[in-house]
Structure 1
Amino acid sequence: MEPGRTDQLVVALRSAARSLTDRRSIRDLEETLGRIVSCAMETIPGVDAASVSMTEHGRIETRHPTSEAIRKIDDIQSRLFEGPCISALEDRPDSGIVIAQDLAGGDAARWPRFAPGAVAAGYRGLMSTTLTSDGGVRGSLNLYSRQPDAFDEHARTLAGLFGVQAALVLVGVNQAANLQKAVDSRDVIGQAKGILMERFGVDDQTAFQMLVRSSQDTNLKLTAVARWLPTEAANSARPDAGRVDRPGR
Structure 2
Amino acid sequence: MDTVQSEQLVLALRTAARSMAEKRSIRDLEETLAQIVDEAVNTIPAVDAGSISMTEHGRIETRCPTTESIRKLDETQSQLREGPCIEAIEDPPPTGMVIAQDFAGDDAQRWPRYGPHAVEAGYHGLMSTQLSTDGGVRAALNLYSRSANAFDEHSQTLAGLFGAQAALLLYGAHHATHLQKAVDSRDLIGQAKGILMERFAVDDEAAFQMLVKSSQDTNLKLTEVARWLTTDQSRAARPDSSTGRGR
TM-score norm. by structure 1 comes to 0.84
Offset of 1:226 from its aligned partner?
Answer: 1.0
Structure 2 counterpart of 1:61: 61
Query: Displacement of 1:58 after TM fit?
Result: 4.0
Partner amino acid, structure 1, of 2:166: A
Structure-1 residue corresponding to 2:110:
110
Q: Residue 227 of structure 1 aligns to a residue in which SS?
A: helix
Letter of the aligned partner of 1:194 in structure 2? G
TM-score normalised by the chain length of structure 2: 0.85
Query: Which whole-Å deviations, capped at 9, do the CAs of 1:196-219 have from their partners, x for residues lacking one?
Result: 111111100111111112212222
What are the superposed Cα offsets for residues 108-128 of structure 1, whole Å, 9 maximum, x if unpaired?
A: 222111100111122222111
In the alignment, is residue 84 of structure 1 matched against residue 84 of structure 2?
yes
Report the Cα distance in structure 1 between the residues aligned to 2:227 and 2:171, rounded to whole angstroms: 28
**Bigger mean CA deviation after superposition, 103-112 or 162-171:** 103-112
SS in 2 for 1:21: helix
Deviation at 1:55, TM superposition (A): 2.8
* 1:145-164 → structure 2 map (5 Å cutoff): 145-164=145-164
User: In terms of mean alpha carbon deviation, does 42-51 or 191-200 score higher?
Assistant: 42-51
2:175 aligned counterpart, secondary structure = helix
The letter of the residue matching 1:66 is: T
The correspondence of residues 2-17 of structure 1 with structure 2, limited to 5 A, is 2-17=2-17
Report the residue type matching 1:94 in the other structure.
P
State the percentage of identical aligned residues: 69
1:130-169 map, 5 Å: 130-169=130-169
Q: Using the alignment, how far apart are the partners of 1:99 and 1:166 within structure 2?
A: 18
Change (3 A) 1:235 1:20: closer
Query: Structure 2 vs 1, CA of residues 80 and 27 (structure 1 numbering), >3 Å: closer, same or farther?
Result: closer
Tell me how far apart the structure 1 counterparts of residues 217 and 66 of structure 2 sit (CA, whole Å): 50
Higher relative contact order (CA 8 A, sep 6+): 1
* Rounded Cα–Cα distance in structure 1 between residues aligned with 2:34 and 2:9: 21
Indicate whether 1:200 and 2:207 are aligned: no
Structure 1 stretches of 5 or more lacking a match? Answer: 238-249
Give 1:54 deviation, angstroms. 1.8
What whole-Å deviation, never above 9, does each CA across 1:40-69 have from its counterpart, x for those lacking one? 334333332222112345432222323332
Alpha-carbon distance between aligned partners in 1 of 2:117 and 2:51, rounded to the nearest angstrom = 16
Aligned 1:1-249 pairs, distance under 5 A: 1-24=1-24, 30-236=30-236
1:216-243 Cα deviation digits (max 9, x unpaired): 2222111111112122113336xxxxxx
Amino acid at match of 1:205: E
Structure 1's 22 and 135: CA in aligned 2 closer, same or farther, altered over 3 A?
farther
- Aligned-pair Cα RMSD in Å: 2.3
Change (3 A) 1:114 1:127: same
Contact preservation (8 Å) 2:12, 2:39: no
Letter in 2 for 1:200: F
Query: Secondary structure of 2:233's partner?
Result: helix
- What is the CA–CA distance in structure 2 between the aligned matches of 1:133 and 1:96, rounded to whole Å? 11
Distance 1:14 1:235, change over 3 A: closer
